[in-house]
C-alpha cells in the first residue's frame, strides 16, 4: 500500500469516527441529575423516577396532569376529579393523607416520594426509603405566592420527568385562568366571605388564612375583619355573618367531605340569618366544590375549579 492509499484510508476512518461521535457529543444528557431545594432539605434526583409515590392529593394531580404513573397514594379522601385512582389496581393504597402507612410506602419500592407539610413529621423516615421532595405550599396562609408556588412545583416536576414543555403549557393555562378571574373581579365593589361549614358550625377565612389567595391573587375583596385565621379558620356565628353582610358568600362544606355526605345547597341550608344577607337575597351564595377547596386547592386542576367557583359569585 503506497502513501497516498494510506492517507485516503486514514481520512475515511477519521470521517466515519467523526460521524459516529459528534452527534452524541452534541446531544444534552438525557438523564442529568435534577437538584431540588425545599424547606426540609435538598434532594438530588439522579435519573428519571420510574416508581413514584404521592402522599398528597395535590401531588397526585400534578403527576396526573403530566401523565406520570403513580405506584402508591393515600386513598382515604380522593377528590372526584381524580376518581380513576380510587380503585386502580396498579396504584397501592398507602393509608391516610395525614398518617401514611410507612410499611406500605416501603413495600411500594418507590424511587421518588412526593409529600407536603402534612407529612413533614415523617420526612426523615421517608428519605430512608427513597429520595423525598416536599412541596412547600403553606396550608395555613396562602397570601404570598400561592399560585407561583403551584407553577414552580409544576415546572420542577416537569424537569424531573422530562416533561418540561407540557409543564410549561399547564403553567400558562393556569396563568390564563387567574387572569380570567382578575378580569371579573377588577373594579367590582362586592365584598366576599369564605366560610367553612362543619356540622352546622361555621368558620371564616380572611386575608391571612388558608384561602388568602382568593383575595391576594384573584382580586376578591374580603368582608371578614379577621386578619389571621390560619388553617381551620376563625369560628363565627350566624350573627357574625349577618353583621358582616357580605355581597358574596363561598361555602365550603367540610362535613360533606369528611363524612361523605351530600354537599349543602340552597335547599338544605336552613339558616334564617344567612338568608337575610345581601349575598343570599341576590343569589350570590356559592356552594363551592369542597373536594377542590378543602382536600386540595394547590394543584392545577383544583385551582381551576376554585377559580370557576370564585367567578360564579360575580354572576347573577
Instruction: Determine the 3-state secondary structure of 95 from DSSP.
Output: strand
Closest CA to 178 of 314, 289, 307, 293: 307
pLDDT digits (tens, 9 = 90+) for 3-39: 444 444 444 443 433 333 333 333 333 579 999 999 9
Across the chain, mean pLDDT equals 90
Predicted local distance difference test score (pLDDT) of residue 212? 94
Cα 170 to chain centroid, rounded:
12
Look up residue 288 and give its DSSP letter: -
Decide if 34-136 and 190-312 have a common fold.
yes
Residue 296 and residue 79 in contact, taking contact as beta carbons nearer than 8 Å: yes
Predicted local distance difference test score (pLDDT) of residue 211? 95
Distance of alpha carbon 212 from alpha carbon 107, whole angstroms = 38
Higher pLDDT, 225 or 237: 237
What percentage of the chain reaches a pLDDT higher than 90? 84
Give the pLDDT band (50/70/90) at residue 225: confident
Predicted local distance difference test score (pLDDT) of residue 170? 98
Indicate if the pLDDT at residue 119 is higher than 80: yes
How would CATH label the architecture of 190-312? 3-Layer(aba) Sandwich (3.40)
pLDDT digits (tens, 9 = 90+) for 73-82: 999 999 999 9
Rounded mean pLDDT of 227-243?
85
CATH class assigned to 34-136? alpha beta
Predicted local distance difference test score (pLDDT) of residue 228? 65
Domains of the chain: which residue ranges? 34-136, 190-312
Indicate if the pLDDT at residue 244 is higher than 90: yes
Predicted local distance difference test score (pLDDT) of residue 14? 38
pLDDT digits (tens, 9 = 90+) for 148-185: 999 999 999 999 999 999 999 999 999 999 999 999 99
Indicate if the pLDDT at residue 223 is higher than 80: yes
Give the pLDDT band (50/70/90) at residue 261: very high
Look at the block and give the residue holding cell 396562609.
141
Amino acid at each position: 500500500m503506497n502513501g497516498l492509499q494510506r492517507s485516503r484510508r486514514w481520512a475515511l476512518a477519521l470521517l466515519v469516527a467523526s460521524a459516529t461521535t459528534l452527534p452524541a457529543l452534541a446531544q444534552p444528557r438525557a438523564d442529568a441529575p435534577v437538584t431540588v431545594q425545599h424547606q426540609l432539605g435538598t434532594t438530588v434526583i439522579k435519573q428519571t423516577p420510574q416508581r413514584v409515590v404521592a402522599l398528597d392529593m395535590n401531588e397526585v394531580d400534578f403527576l396526573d396532569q403530566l401523565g406520570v404513573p403513580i405506584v402508591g397514594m393515600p386513598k382515604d379522601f380522593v377528590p372526584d376529579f381524580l376518581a380513576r385512582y380510587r380503585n386502580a389496581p396498579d396504584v397501592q393504597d398507602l393509608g391516610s393523607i395525614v398518617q401514611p402507612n410507612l410499611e406500605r410506602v416501603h413495600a411500594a419500592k418507590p424511587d421518588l416520594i412526593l409529600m407536603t407539610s402534612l407529612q413533614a413529621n415523617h420526612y426523615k423516615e421517608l428519605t430512608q426509603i427513597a429520595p423525598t421532595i416536599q412541596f412547600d405550599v403553606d396550608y395555613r396562609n396562602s397570601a404570598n405566592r400561592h399560585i407561583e408556588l403551584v407553577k414552580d412545583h409544576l415546572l420542577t416536576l416537569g424537569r424531573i420527568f422530562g416533561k418540561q414543555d407540557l409543564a410549561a403549557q399547564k403553567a400558562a393555562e393556569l396563568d390564563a385562568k387567574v387572569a380570567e378571574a382578575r378580569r371579573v373581579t377588577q373594579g367590582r365593589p362586592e365584598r366576599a366571605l369564605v366560610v367553612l361549614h362543619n356540622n352546622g358550625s361555621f368558620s371564616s377565612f380572611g386575608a391571612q388564612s388558608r384561602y388568602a389567595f382568593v383575595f391576594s391573587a384573584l382580586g376578591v375583596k374580603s368582608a371578614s375583619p379577621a386578619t389571621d385565621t390560619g388553617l381551620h379558620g376563625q369560628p363565627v356565628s350566624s350573627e357574625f355573618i349577618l353583621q358582616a353582610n357580605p355581597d358574596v358568600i363561598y361555602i365550603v362544606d367540610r362535613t360533606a367531605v369528611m363524612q361523605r355526605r351530600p354537599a349543602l345547597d340552597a335547599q338544605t341550608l336552613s339558616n334564617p340569618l344567612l338568608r337575610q344577607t345581601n349575598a343570599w337575597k341576590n343569589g350570590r351564595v356559592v356552594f363551592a366544590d369542597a373536594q377542590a377547596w378543602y382536600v386540595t386547592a394547590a394543584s392545577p386542576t383544583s385551582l381551576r375549579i376554585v377559580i370557576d367557583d370564585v367567578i360564579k359569585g360575580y354572576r347573577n
